Structure 1
Amino acid sequence: MAVRPNPKKDTSSDYRRNAMRAEVAAETQRLKSYLAPTVEMQDLFLEDIEIKLAGAHRTVHVIVDLPEDQSGGVSLDRIAAAAQVISDAMDNDPGDDGRPYNLEVSSPGVSRPLTERRHWRRNTGRMVSVSVERGDDVMGRLVSVDDDGITLIPELPVKKGMKAKQGDPVHLAFGTIRKGRVEVEFAHLEDDPAGEDAPDDETTAEEA
């Protein structure tokens, strides 16, 4: 009886892929610790760092936001100033291995999921959509955030062409929220063109 060959799985490529992921994760965490004080000195919050490798080249994407107690979005001028300071810090990084990199600095933008308490607080007053563990999704105006959850005034469904109606305030515990996001409103785009309802504000430093 003929036996179909059973080629061995190429584990070498898996090993390299896993090693690269581990390297990126470790470098991301190291850069977060190294750059956080620099970002804080600009009165900004280091939201995240994303690193992409292409051979010997790196793209380092630094995402910054305003502190929790500040409203609005990060302006283009502040992004540009932060990019220069972060670039200088990376050029003088004692832990850097010398590989060339491109630095990108941006604000989170409206597409950022609301996953942390500070995200909700930063968007108090905005229209948000919330998916909950049980029951229907809720859309409404976020009015307050406490240690346990959020309070919003829901928008009640109405027939097309009718003015939106608001329901009674609803408190949702963080443990019941699966995910949340900000709903884009044209009024906020006009009032706050550099805010979080605008596209990501991005500045790319020169290649190092």
Structure 2
Amino acid sequence: MPSLDEAVAGVLEAVFADESRSAGLALEEVSVSTAGRRRVVRVVVDLAGEEAGEVDLEAVAVVSAAVSETLDSSDVLGAAPYTLEVTSPGVDRPLTAPRHWARARGRLVRVVLAGGGELLGRVESVDADGVLLRLEPQPVKGRPPRAKDVGVPRQVPFAELVRGEVQVEFRRAGASPDDEPGELDDEQGELDDEQGDAGREDEQ
């Protein structure tokens, strides 16, 4: 028997299969929790394609209305009142699906491998088979980073990837030494954090 999270996600599949209702967004995750007598339904959405970009708040509003209408017309949550939160993932969202990796092109990521161990590298390209990383030195506790493998390309098949984690960089990639320190590598980190917290709440 599916869990409540899975049952709600199943009901919402129709919303995200309809381009006119999904507003170009894809369903990432559904979680249902209880707060007193009320349920909290948290729906995480992201861009459906592989191109880098930000989730538009207008698109979130469109899909929120569609999700709310679908839940109201379904008995999946029973008669209990609920609060709906529709939000986009933050920069700390793990990379697990191929489109996550594709949208991370140019970003520095820490990769957890299925056989054990980790890699640190920049995502160069993504194809149907896996991810091409440009390796970066990994710091070793108590010693400076080893630079032996810096810049070496490595193709990692999807079957060997458990997840990736985007690393926050404090200087824009390719920035000159005159650039202000402490600046994120690009504006996406800040925007992701803002949008990750900017979910729309609907009291039902």
The TM-score with structure 1 as length reference comes to: 0.72
CA contact (8 A) 2:22 2:62 kept: no
* Partner residue, 1:62: 43
Q: Does 1:32 align with 2:24?
A: no
* Partner residue, 2:176: none
CA contact (8 A) 2:113 2:161 kept: yes
- For the residues of structure 2 that align with 1:29 and 1:100, how far apart are their CA atoms? 18
The structural deviation recorded for 1:160 is 5.7
- Return 5+ residue gaps in structure 2 as ranges: 173-183
**Mapping of 1:104-123 within 5 angstroms?**
104-123=85-104
Q: CA RMSD in A?
A: 3.3
- For the residues of structure 1 that align with 2:132 and 2:114, how far apart are their CA atoms? 16
- For the residues of structure 2 that align with 1:132 and 1:23, how far apart are their CA atoms? 29
* Partner residue, 1:178: 162
Aligned to 1:191, which of 179, 183, 187? 187
The structural deviation recorded for 1:27 is 2.6
* Bigger helix share: 1
- For the residues of structure 1 that align with 2:189 and 2:47, how far apart are their CA atoms? 15
Task: Give the 3-state SS of the residue equivalent to 1:202 in structure 2.
Answer: coil
Task: Give the 3-state SS of the residue equivalent to 1:156 in structure 2.
Answer: coil
Shift in CA distance, 78/193, structure 1 to aligned 2, threshold 3 Å: farther
**Mapping of 1:68-147 within 5 angstroms?**
68-91=49-72, 93-96=73-76, 97-134=78-115, 136-147=117-128
Aligned to 2:27, which of 29, 35, 46? 46
- Return 5+ residue gaps in structure 1 as ranges: 1-18
Shift in CA distance, 189/35, structure 1 to aligned 2, threshold 3 Å: farther
Runs of 4+ in 1 over 4 A off after TM superposition: 157-161
2:97 maps to a residue whose letter is: E
- For the residues of structure 2 that align with 1:146 and 1:120, how far apart are their CA atoms? 10
* Partner residue, 1:168: 152
